[in-house]
Structure 1
Amino acid sequence: KGSRGEGGVGGRGNRGRESDRDRQTEREREREREREREREKEREREREREREREREREREREREREGRREEGG
């Protein structure tokens, strides 16, 4: 029972409890990656919102220009 889980740990030759610990850290890393992906999505959404705001500002400026032109003409 001592050499349990040696093959699946990437050939590092861990035994018993150590491989268990490795699986634990593996799960931790998985969770980390998940969180990272979530953060990425959040950043993406933020960027999208920024772009939307930019477009809105552009439209506002366009309307301003149009209004001025009409007033001046």
Structure 2
Amino acid sequence: MGKGDKKSKRGKIINGTYGTRRKRKIKKRPTIEEKISPGKKK
């Protein structure tokens, strides 16, 4: 368990890879309805 370990979170950070120990942050994409609607004005 350390910087060279491919299965640890620290190893994933050092290698710049992702996996079960280091999840990617999901970017929220706008839905089709949000793209079509002209805008929300109250």
Q: Does TM, scored on the shorter chain, surpass 0.5?
A: no
Identify the structure with the greater helix proportion: 1
- Bucket of the pairwise TM-score, normalised by the shorter protein: 0.3 to 0.5
What's the TM-score once normalised by structure 2's chain length? 0.32
Rg: which structure is higher? 1
Higher relative contact order (CA 8 A, sep 6+): 2
What's the TM-score once normalised by structure 1's chain length? 0.25
